[in-house]
Structure formats: structure tokens, C-alpha cells
Structure 1
């Protein structure tokens, strides 16, 4: 059974290896390092259909699977709130689930979501009975993707929210994520009363704090164990384009995708 230490020894130094309390739970968050893709997808792009060479993506994914030690379930992510329950890996790309979160109680495959500025959130039952991963851009976050993912993990584990741990990964940071009034309203806020997740910026613009908004929503559901992204610059994808893929930093959005993964040994 791989340990967090053995995983760290096998991955580039700037990848994240989140730790959870139960020894069955393993997790990874990739960065740009370690792959074979050419610019502007350099180097560890994990998504086809973006303009990267298919052979390069295939090699990167083969390296990822060798590290994880099992296949991973890709999703067709649409900034929604649907949750896929994983019991087998889709055989072809045409069979990929349309969802923005994936959960499982099985050890045959890893849950994988992909990001390039959006917030990845990993979930694990403290007793190691179920895990999940969610893709939380502002639309999915406002729509309830974290609450939906948590409900599925709780159901699989037969446990309350207080028994679920969450790790928030890197995303566009609160000093860089400029939004308009439509985003405030999606979270039930207004320009007159933006709340603690938003800070006034230029006229008609606010800076949104995705990690803080996610923490608020998870705390409200009863989750007590929250780790990872605290909103500081080390976690900001837009501020560190050499370490992270960033859709907002890239020219015309041409950039790769990172993966946040969680699985059960």
C-alpha cells in the first residue's frame, strides 16, 4: 500500500500529496511538471481535445496511472452539480459521464476531476469507507456541487457530514479573481451587501474568494475537517503560471488541465 511519503518520492516536487486520516485514502494533485506535452500545454496536460498532441496526452495519462496504480475516471465537466457514482471505468470516451463530481466506495479506480483555475475539492470518510472529488468553479459552487458531492459520500459511507474530511486544492486566488454583479447574485449577495466572500475592486467589479466561499458552504453543511487552500498566494493558479495551468493566464484559453485525484487502497 503506497504511503504519502512513497507517493511524494514518485512525483514532481511541486505536485500536491494531500493527507487524510485513514490509511486507505490516497490523493494527488498534479501540476505542470513531469510530462511530455509541448507549449502551450507544457508539460503534464491530462486532457485531449484542447489542441495538444494526442500521443503526448496519452503518455502523460499513462504516467499518471502508473503513479496511482489503477485507472482513473474522467468526466465531461460542464460546470454543473451532477455527481457520478463510480463502480466501473467508462470503456470509451463516448461513455464518459457528464458530471462535475465523482464518488466511490470501491478501490478499483480513482476519482479524477480536472481544473485550470477552478477549485478542486476532495472528500474522504474518516473511516475510509468512501471518497469523492468535485470540480467547483463559481457556477458549480453557487449551484451546490459541493453539497451534492458531500451528500453522496455520506450516503456511501453511511456517515454524517461531521465524519467527512475535505481538502481544497489550488485555484485562482482571491486577489486575482475579478467578477461582476451576476456572480454576487448567484451566491445570494448584492453589490450593496457583497458578504465576506467578495471584496470591492474596480467600479462594478469585485474580487471573489473561491476557497472562502467553499469553506463557508462546507461549514454550513456540518463539515468540520477542512484542509488545504487557505487563500494565500501559494495556492493561486493565475499567479504561478510556471507551476499551474491557468485558463485566465493563457492566450485565448489555450492551456492544459491538471487533475485532482482520490482513491481507496
Structure 2
């Protein structure tokens, strides 16, 4: 009688482990270089997951790193994403929003490139996400919506927007801002999303965070309508410099990235 509760506990733990092992996620990492055909050109991606670069500029030791270091999956939009989107494309103007009832299938959002850039000339990150539908996953009227939060406005010419905070829909190529879609003039198709944000004032500190969602909705030139969210990711980057001889900060940051890489190899 004394042993029975322990046996029940072990059985429950075993059941939880088995169930956890069977649970998948739409997000998958499978890094590979691609040449993608967009209307704007055919960029070739690096196909790697590089989390940190170091560089020197104006006598300072600097670093650039991914933030988060791994792409994060989001089943639903954040409050900030929703607030930003609905402020720019309000319900009063005819837009409406909904979350899909069914989650995307396992391994349907595949990260192909997540690669930081840190040089004296430019800091940023290259990102490529591929949508690989399976089964009942959506395949029609698909678009990408990205909300960016940064301390260097993307609405200003390079080098002139530092210190100007931006928290908005990333649709700079959309004609007259007619739609919230990144693919409305940007480097994206129904199955591929590509972005390579960066800044040239590399001696200054930057933060750049993005929340990206696969959605279905009306054509970019069709006007307002229903947008349905299927799932998304978070990705981004940051950089900073430290004056010499304060190099210990750089060493600590490098050690952190090295430990992270080692942990990734072990897992």
C-alpha cells in the first residue's frame, strides 16, 4: 500500500514524457542557402545560423548578435503587434482580424537563414523563412505581416534615424501604404519571406526586433477585408560598442555566445 502512490506517480510522469515527445511545433530549423526569385531580384541567402560577430570601429571594440539567438514561435500575435496593426489598419476602415482555428502543421515554418552581420561598415541580420504547407495547411491568398520595433527608425534614410524610435508595420514598399503586407512590394512570396535589415552607423548601439506572421487576406490592391493569422515567429538583432580599454564587456559577451554555441551542439 505504501508503494502504490509512487507507482502511480511514475506512471503519470511516463505518460507526460510520452505525450511531450509526441507534441510537435510548426517551427523547424533547417539551415540551407537558397537563391530566391523575387520581383525585386534574386538574392542568395547564406544558409547559416551565426549568432554573433565582433568588429572594431573608431578605436572601439564592438559586437553584433542575434536577439533572440534562436527564432521563436508564436501561435498568436502579441498585444503590441495587434495594437500597432489595428492602429494603422483600423476596423473602422473595413479591416477585420481573426486567428485560425487550426494550428499550422508540424515543420511548416522552416528557418533557412538566421545570420547576424557585424562589420565596421554595417550591422544587421539576414533572415529567410520558408513556408512548407502540409495536409490542410492554407495555400491561397497568403501574405506576410511584420511589425518592427527599433531605436533607429526605418522610415529615415540610412544614418539619419538613430535615436528615433519606430514601432510599426513593416510595409515600406506598399504603394501608398495600401496594405499591411510585407510582400506588397517587399522580398516575399506566399512561401518565402526574406529580410536583411541593417544600419551603417556601426559605432552606435541598435536594437531591432520583429514579430512576423503568416496570414491570409485580400489582395494588396483589393482594399480592406478579413485577415486571418496562422502562426508566426520572433527574430531580431542588436549591437553595441565599448571604448578601449573596457574590453571585458566584449569578452563577456563573446564568452556568452561561445557557451551558447557549445550548448547548441550538445543538445
TM range (shorter): under 0.3
Question: Which has the greater radius of gyration?
Answer: 2
Q: TM-score, normalised by structure 1?
A: 0.23
Task: Pick the structure with more strand per residue.
Answer: 2
Task: Pick the structure with more helix per residue.
Answer: 1
